[in-house]
Amino acid sequence: MSDSFDGNVLAAKSFAHFGVTHMFGVVGIPVTSLATRAVQFGIRFIAFHNEQSAGYAASAYGYLTGRPGLLLTVSAPGCVHGLAGLSNAMINTWPMVMISGSSDQKDAGRGDFQELDQIEAVKPFSKFSVKAKDIKEIPSCVARVLDHAISGRPGGCYFDLPTDVLHQTITESEAEKLFTEVEKGRIFEQTKAPPNSEIEKAVSVLRKAERPLIVFGKGAAYARAEGELRKFVERTGIPFLPTPMGKGLVNDNHGLAASAARSLAIGKCDVALVVGARLNWLLHFGESPKWDKDVKFILVDVCEEEIKLRKPHLGLVGDAKKVLEMINKEIKDDPFCLGKSHPWVEAVSKKAKDNVSKMEAQLAKDVVPFNFLTPMRIIRDAILGLGSPAPVVVSEGANTMDVGRSVLVQTEPRTRLDAGTWGTMGVGLGYCIAAAVANPDRLVVAVEGDSGFGFSAMEVETLVRYKLPVVVIVFNNGGVYGGDRRSPEEVTGPFKDDPAPTSFVPGAAYHTVMEAFGGKGYLVETPDELKSALSESFSAKKPTVINVTIDPFAGAESGRMQHKN
């Protein structure tokens, strides 16, 4: 029939119908037509070189927009490469949907082209998965994966599209009927909130605290809780500590910021209100000796299991924005504010000021050949010089990320993307692309090590192809952690003349990788060269790689995680 179309068209139509506007992926058998049709229905398809990067992009897109990020892959190998992104979404609790084509259902178990039981393969890395076994199931499957990805604790979901289903056909009127049925059956989740009695208890504990602290993380950023957080901090005068990706929810330059007095703040606080951040390794499991053994935690998290796992003094299950709104309302009836002269606030702010001035003294030096601090200071100042809207900063690498976290200043929410909960290296270019398409008004600046950059360097071509305003600054110290740090006893055996496992080709011309595709490349070795490259590239807003030569022996092996290596 003339008005009939196939499963590829119906899938593309369904994603557009249920509100998808962007898709990341790598095309090939059997999903090329799905991508082409998606574009036809108004979805921007960003075609990558590798599903791993496309998957990282989809996960970050979900975090930045609050809508599921979509990854499209081919069957078996594409799906397996995509698991990197899917697992990244799960571990960071970001909404994402991976859609993979799969082999013909009738040939299952007979060694079909790119055959894999993909539903089984994605199980450990997803919170929900579904296969469309017939073309008629496509619209309902699409609605279900999208809804599951954002419901409760956000995470990764998977949608399997067998080749035979993609080749089945359906008429326009049949498809419309399916959309109507699915719309009718959809149940939208209410924003979760705890009972008022729990809010009263929480406020009473905070009121009685002598040394309270508020800690917030990327769950609060995802919830867009910044307005309520700022209100809470201003009203109560309680010092705050953001996790790395919580930075910017309240301006890092705020007088109550405790980041520069982190050890004192977490070591001495008696009550900690933790919003959208897990008490995992990043927060020392909430245990002594880093925390006081008697500290009372009040945890705010959308996930009840998370709260049960941590056994806090008090747990408030709900959306961070909603819970803070309730807390602020409860405080308003009987306001309290510690005030600047409160001994705890004074102690935290004095320690923070002392540490900042020590750090500034180090940063003020122009060290050449570059250490990590000198170029980071120059980059910080150039970024701050841009004002608002602040760029999205993408950061990865051991020393580069560690130093960047303490030196770079976040003034606006969701403007920092880094290696996250798993400490994943290789996220850089994918995150840059996601940030650029999710925030078209913001510049994207990646500050990454040469090792981190190498994982996805070919995606610089993607930046050029889609004309994305991304400046990638590569801290090039010639390897993973930099120079060869082996002791003479370690350099023995038949392959002793091979380069160290940590070494790359010294002086690699990473900027020429960008030039190869028509983007702009800079090689810089001095403060003036770096300043000029930043100034030019920040105003050009075009795909750029700035290759910064760093002393191979600056920094430390494993960054600040040496005890684990």
**Closest residue to bound ligand ADP by CB:** 219
Residue 68 near ligand ADP by CB under 6 A? no
Stretch in the footprint of ligand ADP (CB under 6 A) among 39-47, 273-281, 356-364, 369-377: 273-281
By C-beta, is 153 or 531 nearer to ligand ADP? 153
* Chain centre to alpha carbon of residue 454: 19
Q: Is 306 in the site for ligand ADP (CB under 6 A)?
A: yes
Residue nearer to ligand ADP on the CB measure, 276 or 286:
276
Member of 45, 222, 510, 538 binding ligand ADP (CB under 6 A): 222
Residue 78 corresponds to which tokens in the numbers above?
């594409």
The one-letter code for the residue type at 277 is: A
Dihedral of CA 44/18/24/163: which sign? negative
When asked if residue 277 is in the footprint of ligand ADP (CB under 6 A), the reply is: yes
DSSP 245: T
Q: Is residue 223 close enough to count as binding ligand ADP by CB under 6 A?
A: yes
- Closest CB to ligand ADP among 247 and 511? 247
Closest to ligand ADP by CB, 336 or 422 = 422
Smallest gap, in angstroms, from Cβ of residue 298 to ligand ADP? 13
CB-nearer residue toward ligand ADP: 26 or 89:
89
325 binds ligand ADP (CB under 6 A): no
* Closest distance to ligand ADP from the beta carbon of 174 (Å): 38
User: Is residue 43 a contact point for ligand ADP (CB under 6 A)?
Assistant: no
| Piece of 219-227, 385-393, 485-493, 546-554 that binds ligand ADP (CB under 6 A) | 219-227
514 in Cβ contact with 521 (< 8 Å): yes
| Phi, psi angle pair for 488, to nearest 5° | -55, -35
From the list 438, 429, 441, the residue with the least C-alpha distance to 465 is 429
The residues in 381-440 that bind ligand ADP, with binding defined as CB under 6 A, are 421
The answer to whether the CB of 35 falls within 8 A of the CB of 11 is no
On the 0-12 / 13-18 / 19+ scale of CB atoms within 10 A, 207 is middle
User: Cis omega before residue 389 (within 30°)?
Assistant: yes
By rule CB under 6 A, what count of residues binds ligand ADP? 24
Q: Are the CB atoms for 249 and 390 separated by under 8 Å?
A: no
Query: Of the ranges 49-57, 238-246, 329-337, 509-517, which one interacts with ligand ADP (CB under 6 A)?
Result: 238-246
Q: Which stretch binds ligand ADP (CB under 6 A): 75-83, 157-165, 215-223, 377-385?
A: 215-223
Instruction: Give the interface segment with ligand ADP, choosing from 297-305, 445-453, 456-464, 538-546 (CB under 6 A).
Output: 297-305
Name every residue whose Cβ is closer than 8 Å to that of residue 234 and which is 6 or more positions away in sequence.
none
Which tokens hold the place of 44? 């921007």
Quote the least distance from Cβ 124 to ligand ADP, whole Å. 18
Write the interaction track for ligand ADP spanning residues 149-188; mark x where CB under 6 A is met and - where it is not.
----xx----------------------------------
Q: How far apart are CA 522 and CA 321, in angstroms?
A: 43
Q: For residues 162 and 74, is the Cβ–Cβ distance under 8 A?
A: no
- Closest among 404, 451, 268, 279 to 348, alpha carbons compared: 268
Closest among 244, 268, 265 to 256, alpha carbons compared: 265
Find the shortest distance in angstroms from Cβ 452 to ligand ADP. 18
Residues 348-377 that bind ligand ADP (CB under 6 A): none
For ligand ADP, the binding residue among 39, 80, 282, 367 (CB under 6 A) is 282
Does position 459 interact with ligand ADP (CB under 6 A)? The reply is no
| Separation CA 201–CA 199 (nearest Å) | 5
Residue type at 229?
L
Token representation of residue 232: 């809470």
Nearer to ligand ADP, 249 or 437 (CB): 249
Q: Does 312 bind ligand ADP (CB under 6 A)?
A: no
Answer yes or no whether residue 319 interacts with ligand ADP by CB under 6 A: yes
Identify residue 343 by its one-letter amino acid code. Answer: P
The least CB distance from residue 431 to ligand ADP, in Å, is 15
In the bound state with ligand ADP, the residue whose beta carbon lies nearer, of 246 and 375, is: 246
For ligand ADP, the binding residue among 163, 243, 328, 349 (CB under 6 A) is: 243
For 80, 415, 463, the CA distances from 46, given in Å and listed in that order, are 19, 21, 10
Q: What 3-state class would DSSP assign to 96?
A: strand
Which 83-122 residues touch ligand ADP, going by CB under 6 A?
92-93
Angle formed at CA 192 by CA 188 and CA 197, multiple of 5 degrees: 145
For residue 448, give the nearest of 462, 466, 461, 460 by alpha carbon. 460
Q: Please give the structure tokens belonging to residue 449.
A: 């090590």
Q: Which residues of the chain form contacts with ligand ADP (CB under 6 A)?
A: 92-93, 153-154, 217-219, 222-223, 243, 245-246, 276-278, 280, 282, 301-303, 306, 319-320, 421
